A and B are shown apart, each in its own frame.
Chain A
C-alpha cells in the first residue's frame, strides 16, 4: 500500500533527556523519522524536551516544541496543532508510553488523531507482563517460568516455588530500572520492594534465573501486509544475566548452527506476527547452551538501542523504514537506500563481524557499584566492524577511550594467578579484561567458561589475541607477522611496544564497504570500515566519484559518556551540513552507533572506525583531505590535534598551537597575564606532598583537577587535607601523564559564554548564567539565558574579556569561556577553544546557527561578511532555562551531591517569555514534581545553615512539614522555626532518617555535606535513599532556592505558553 491519503500532519514525540537506558539512539531514530516524513511532503510537528538533539532542529520539522514531555503538554499541543496522526514508536519508551496513555484515555479518538506505528493492543501484548505471557502461551513460544506480582509477599512465595536465584523485573521502567537478581529472601525483599515502587503500575515480574544461557536478539520489521523480515541477529558475549545494554554484543550471532538460528528467527517472526507490530520490533531470547531449549526474554515493539545498533551494523535504516511503514508503505515498496536498486523487503547479509562495546561511567563514579546485572549502567557504546572478531574487538577496546589499545588492564597485572581466577566470577565492567588476563596466565578455556559461562568460541578468539601478543613479544617481527598482527587489529604503536622493534614497512588500512548484501549487488553507499586487505573500496569509490570539491574530514566525538554527550554529535552533524552547503565534501570518522553522524547519508563518506591517530592516519592516506576539523567532536577530536599537526594535515579553524595554549596551564597563565584578565590563583602539582603544600598556600577550599579534562572528570573541591589526600590517592593510582591543577576556589555567580570568532570580530550569541554558584560543574548547573542577575558592568567586562581572549588565542570558530563573578569582579575559570555542551541550545533559542557560522568562518567567511556585528547578539523575547537530568537510580552507591565533577547524563530546556515560567517548565521537564504540601527533610552542613534558613521559612509558610537531622533541626528551632528532629543513621533508636524516608512522608530532601563521597558516609546514604525512593533531593542551596520559589509561584502546566521554536 502506498502513502495513506488520510495522513497529512504528523506529531512526532521524542524521547526527552538522555538518561542511562534511553540515549542518543532516539535522536538518531527521531531524526530519521522526521526526514522520512518530510520526504513524503507531510507536515511534521515535533515535541521533545531535549534541546541537544538534532531532531529539534529547525530543518527537521515544521513546528517544534521543546516542552516537557508529559500528558498535559502533549494534549495541549494536539489541541493547538490538530495533527491527524501521532507517531509513537520512534521516541523510545517515553514516546511510546505517552502515546499509549493518549490512546487509552480516548483522547486521540476524540480529536480524530490516528496512532501510527503501534496500537495499544500490540503494546499491551508486548509490555504488560501477564498479557505478554498469555500471548506467548497461545502461540506456543516458551517463556521463562515467571509470575507477575504486586506485593513483596507474593514475590517471596513464588520465589520459594521456583527456587532462588530469581530475577526481578519491574513493569514499564526504563533500561530495567529497579530490577535485579536475588539469591535469597532478604535480597528479594529489598529488590522487589524497590521495583514495585518504581513501576508505574506497581508490578514486578519474578522470574526463574536462567543466567548462563546464551542471549540472542533479533531485530524484526513487519508491515501492514504481514510481510516480515529480520534485519539482524545479535549474540551477547556475556550470557543471560547482564543487561544487553551492558553486554559486549556481536552481530551476527556466531555460535548458533543454522538449525538454532532458524529456530529463533522463526520464533521472532512468530511473535511479531502475533503482536501485529507495524514497524520495528526487538526480540530477545535465552538459548540453552546445550540443547534446543529456548525462552523469550523480552520484546520491544518499537525502535530501540538494539535497532540503532542493527541499523549501523548492517546499513539497513530501521527507523526510516519503520516510519514509512507507519504511514502506509509496505516493505516491497520501500527502496533499499544502500543499493538503490533492491528493496527494503530483504534480509541484510553481512560479510564482516560487528562488535558493540559498552562505555560505562565508572571512571568518573569511582565509588559506584560496578557489578552488572539486569539494570543497565552504561551511558554509551562504541561499535567496531572487522573481518575477524579479534580485529573488531581490538578496534572496540581502543574506541571506548579508557586509554587502552589491548585488553591488558594494568591494575590486573599486579594480581596473583589465584586472584585473577577469583575475579572471573565477578561480573562487572572489567570482566573481558579479567578474562584476557586469565588467558595470559594460562588458565584453561574450559575453566574460564565454567566460571563465566562465556561461550568458548569467544574465549578461544580472545586467546588468539593473547597468542598474538606472545608472538609479538617473542618472535622476530617479520613482514608476515606484522601483517598477521594488523589483521588481528593491533596498532603499529602496540606492535612496536610489544616486540620492541619498529614495524618493517608501515601498512595503512584499506577500506571495505558496508552494503547490506555481502557484495551481491553493487552498492553506492559511501559507508566504509578499515581492514588490512589489498583491495581498497574507498579508493575505488573516490576514483569513480571524482569531484573538484575540496575534501574535509570532521571527527566525531566517540562514545556518549558523562561530560561528552549528544551535543557534540549535534555539532559534528551541523558542521557536515554546513560544509556540504558550502560546496565541500564532508567526511566523518566516528565509532558511535547511536548517532546521526554515523548515518550513512549524513556525510559524503562515513568511516566507521576508531578515532586514534593511527586509525585516522589511514583514512587520511586514502582520502588525502584538503583539511580537517577538530572543534566539534569534543575532547575526542581535540586530542587528535597534535597528531594532525605533525602529520601536516591542515587543521581548519583555531590552530593546534592555540588549542594547546588554552589547555596548558603555564601558557594559559601567560596569555591571561598578557590580556590582563584575572583568574583564581592556582598551582600545578604531580605529587601528594606538593598538593598539600599548594593547598596550604592557596588556602582552603581549593579546586583540584587533572589538566586536559572533560566534564570535570575527577574534579573536586577540597575543604581539608584529608580531601586532598583522598583525591590524590585516587588520581595517582590510575597513573598520571599530566599534572594536577590546584586552584583557589572562588564562590560567586558562574557565567558561561559561547562565542564565534573570525580572527578579527567575535559574536556572542548570548551570555548564560548558572543558578548554582561556582563549584558545581557547569554541565550540572541550571543554566539561564539571558543572564538575569548580572550588572551591566559585569556584562560589559565579560564581553570585553571574551573578545580579548578570542583574539589573543586567535580563535577561528568556536570558543567556550567560563567566568565567575566573585565580590563583583569577573574572573576567568576556563577557556575551551572548541564547541561546547551549550552550543545546541543557545543556537536554538537565539536563532544564531553557531556551528554553521563557525564552519563557514573556518572556510574563510567573516562575521561582518555574513551580516553580524561584533559583540553580543541582541537579546530576544524568550528566556531559556536548561536543567540537567541525572541517572542516579541506575548507579548504585554514587553520591548525588553535586560538585565540580559532572554527574548529569542529559538535559532539558524550558522556554518562556518570563524567567519564572521557563524555570517552571525546565524543572517539570527534568522530572521534578512541584508539590504544594508534604514533608521536607533537611540535613545540611553548618556553613549552609544560615542560607537554608529563609528557604526553610518559605517552605513552612507554604504548609510543608519540616524534618531535620538533629544538628540542622536544633539550629532552625533556635531561630523559631519548627523543624522536627530525626535521628541520624548512626544514632541509636528507631525512626531514624532512613525510616522517615521510607515512610513516604517526605517529598523533598535538602542535603549538603562537607565530607567526601564514600558510600558509607551519612549524607551519602541519605541521598541514596532519596534516590531509591524517588524523592527529589537537592544538594545545592541555589537549586533548593529556585525550586522553592517555583513551588511558591503556583504555576500550572495548563497555563504556560507552549512555544513553537521555529517562530522565535
Chain B
C-alpha cells in the first residue's frame, strides 16, 4: 500500500491528512458523501458524479474489487475519491482488480486513511463544499489554493458527459421504441428498457424535438445526469416541445428536474443532497414507502408546479422533499430516485413497467 501522503483541503480551510491511492497530483471538485455500503463501483462510474469528489461513508471499500460488468458508464467521472480504507486483497468470483488499479487506469486521484465520518459531519453541518485532493504540500500556499478551490464551479456538466453520437440498441422482439435523451445515463436504465423489449436510441442531450420526433419513438426516456439543472436551458425548451406533443415520457433524477423546469417548476440545491441506497420514498397515492437508490444534489420544489399541470406523486419520508411528479398535461411521470438501482435497492423497478404501460396505452 502506498505510503505517500496526500491531503484534502476543504474550501473552509480545514485539512485532512491521509495517504494517496489512484494517481498522484492535484484535483479540485465538489465534495459529497455517499452512504451506500455496497456499490462503490457503480458510484465510481455514475456520470452524475461528474465534477465531484465522492466520499464513501462506509469505511471498507474495494472489498470485492472491480469487474467490467458492473460499470454504469465506460469511465470514471469523479474528480477525486475518498475512502477510509481500500482493500488490497479483494475477494469475489468476478473480481478483476483493485479499486486502486481502477483509479489509476482512469487517472483519478484518490485519498485514503482519513476519518471519513469526521469529513461527512463537516459536510452535513456546512453543506456540500469544494475541496482539493493533492499529493503536494497544502500548507505553504494555502491561501492561494483556497482561492482556487472556492472559485471552482461545475460547468457544462451535461454537455461533457452526454454521448456525442447517436447510439442504437435493438432487441430481438421489440415492443416499443424508446428515445433516450442522454444527460449522463447509467447503463442500467438502458438495460431495464432492453429487458422490457424496447429498441432504444440514445441521443445526445442537445438533440432537438424535431430530430427526436423524426425517430418516431413510442416514448422518451429522460436520464439522470450531473450538475445544476437550471443550466440546461436548451434541453428545457426541447422538453417543452415534446410535452406539447403529448409523447409518453419517463424521467429519472436530472430528467425529473428538467421536466419540472420545463413545466414552470423550480429546483433548489439541497444542503448536502441524497446519495445512497437507503432513502425512504412514499408513494402518496398508496401510502406505500419504498427504499430507493439516490444520487442528487438538487431537488424540485414540491409546490412550485401548478397543480393543474402536475402533482407531487412521491416524497422523501425523511425531509419531505419532492421525489416524483405525475403530469396532467401529458403522459409524463418523473422520479427523483433511481428505479434502475445499481447500486442500491431494486424495489421501484416496477416504474419501468409503468412506463411500458403508458406507451401501450398512448400508442394503442
Contacts and interface: CB of A to CB of B under 8 A. Distances in A.
A346 B90 contact: no
Given A349-B278, A351-B117, A256 B91 contact: no
A519 B70 contact: no
Contacts of A255: 63-64, 91-92
B135 interface: no
Contact of B317 (A226, A259, A345, A535): A345
Contacts of B282: 332
Contacts of B87: 457
A534 B347 contact: no
Interface residues of B, number: 54
Residue in A252, A257, A533 whose Cβ sees the most chain B Cβ within 10 Å: A257
A460 B41 CA distance: 21
Contact of A262 (B35, B276, B344): B344
A422 interface: no
A286 to B, nearest CB: 15
Interface in B9-53: 33, 35-39, 41-42
A225 B277 CA distance: 21
Contacts of A455: 91
Contacts of A289: 93
B346 to A, nearest CB: 5
Interface string A335-360: 00000011101111111110000000
Contacts of B38: 252-253, 256-258, 261-262
A455 B64 CA distance: 11
A522 interface: yes
A262 B343 contact: yes
Interface string B80-99: 00001101111111100000
B228 interface: no
A387 B59 contact: yes
A331 B125 CA distance: 27
A541 interface: no
Interface stretch (B144-152, B202-210, B216-224, B285-293): B285-293
A819 interface: no
B341 interface: yes
Given A258-B38, A388-B85, A522-B124, A353 B288 contact: no
A261 B277 CA distance: 12
Contacts of A332: 280, 282, 287, 289, 317
Interface string A520-534: 111000000000011
A389 interface: yes
A269 interface: yes
A349 B36 CA distance: 7
Contacts of B93: 289-291
Given A331-B289, A342-B318, A258 B70 contact: yes
Given A290-B93, A457-B90, A518-B35, A254 B279 contact: no
A738 interface: no
B84 to A, nearest CB: 6
A291 B94 CA distance: 8
A346 B279 contact: yes
B116 A257 contact: no
B120 A262 contact: no
B180 interface: no
Contacts of B94: 257
A8 to B, nearest CB: 26
Contact of A343 (B57, B318, B343): B318
A561 interface: no
B115 interface: yes
A517 interface: yes
Contact of B124 (A269, A520, A535): A520
B121 interface: yes
Contact of B58 (A266, A457, A518): A518
Contact of B291 (A229, A350, A519, A521): A229
Interface string B120-147: 1100110000000000000000000000
A349 B344 CA distance: 12
Contact of B288 (A225, A258, A291, A351): A225
Nearest to B342: A258
A398 interface: no
A512 interface: yes
A342 B35 CA distance: 16
A456 interface: yes
Given A258-B42, A258-B70, A289-B93, A518 B318 contact: no
A519 B120 contact: yes
A954 to B, nearest CB: 64
A685 to B, nearest CB: 50
B35 A520 contact: yes
A574 interface: no
A83 B338 CA distance: 46
A227 interface: yes
Contacts of A256: 38, 64, 92
Contacts of B225: none
A456 to B, nearest CB: 4
A252 B37 contact: yes
Contacts of B345: 262, 265-266, 347
Contacts of A522: 124-125
Nearest to B121: A519
A520 B235 CA distance: 32
B118 A533 contact: yes
A258 B41 contact: yes
B237 interface: no
Interface string B296-335: 0000000000000000000001100000000000000000
B81 to A, nearest CB: 16
A347 B281 CA distance: 12
A390 B86 CA distance: 13
A291 B42 CA distance: 20
Contacts of A228: 347
Contacts of B318: 341-343, 346, 521
A696 to B, nearest CB: 60
A1011 B208 CA distance: 94
B317 A258 contact: no
Nearest to A445: B89
Given A258-B39, A512-B117, A519 B60 contact: no
Contacts of B120: 351, 518-520
A353 B276 contact: no
Nearest to B58: A351
A141 to B, nearest CB: 15
Nearest to B273: A520
B67 interface: yes
A225 B341 CA distance: 23
A533 B115 contact: yes
A340 B155 CA distance: 38
A230 B280 CA distance: 12
Contacts of A291: 93
A113 to B, nearest CB: 29
A528 to B, nearest CB: 12
Contacts of B84: 387
B78 to A, nearest CB: 17
Interface in B104-124: 115-118, 120-121, 124
A344 B107 CA distance: 41
Given A349-B37, A518-B276, 19 more contacts: A252-B38, A252-B58, A255-B92, A257-B70, A258-B36, A269-B347, A332-B280, A343-B280, A343-B317, A346-B279, A346-B318, A348-B278, A353-B60, A518-B117, A519-B117, A520-B120, A534-B115, A535-B115, A535-B118
**Nearest 3 Cβ contacts at the A-B interface:** A460-B89, A258-B39, A457-B91
Interface of B: 33, 35-39, 41-42, 57-60, 63-64, 67, 70, 84-85, 87-94, 115-118, 120-121, 124-125, 272, 276-280, 282, 287-289, 291, 317-318, 341-347
19 contacts: A225-B288, A225-B289, A255-B91, A257-B41, A265-B345, A332-B289, A346-B280, A349-B57, A349-B58, A351-B59, A352-B59, A445-B89, A457-B90, A460-B91, A518-B120, A520-B57, A520-B124, A533-B118, A535-B118
